[in-house]
Amino acid sequence: MMTVLPVLDDTLLSTQAIFGLGIAVGLLTALAISAKRWLLGYLIGGLIYWGVIDGLHHWLTQQFLVSDWHGFVIAFALSLLPLFFWVSYRVLRYDVLNCQKQKPALTEHSPVYDSGFQPRFR
């Protein structure tokens, strides 16, 4: 989990790091007080999602001795499994609901015009 919790050292408090952190905090503050503050939910959700992938990666590399690359690929694939099951459930549920509905008999419609109707184009 070194990508999530870096080791504190002297480069962490460099001028460039403090400047970058100040810009990030300023932009997040501006976003929080704007009308688009709902975007913070997506930002926090993405950070949590990446934390889950990083945690899975760390666990996989420690337990199964896979390489970093393979650990990230497997962690990403495992993180997509809930989405796959949810979409499959919705598709199967939609099919069942459609099969249960009886389709109404189709009625052929032809336009009904008044006796004084004149078509615009001939």
pLDDT in tens, 71-104: 999 999 999 999 999 999 888 888 766 666 666 6
Residue 95 domain flag: yes
| Residue 71 lies in domain | 16-100
Task: Write the CA distances from 10 to 1, 15, 102, integer angstroms.
Answer: 20, 11, 71
Scanning the structure block, which residue is given the tokens 């099919």?
95
Residue 80 domain flag: yes
Number of other residues whose CB lies within 10 A of the CB of residue 40:
13
Residue 122 domain flag: no
What total number of domains does the chain contain? Answer: 1
pLDDT in tens, 7-41: 555 666 788 888 888 999 999 999 999 998 899 99
Q: What is the pTM of this model?
A: 0.59
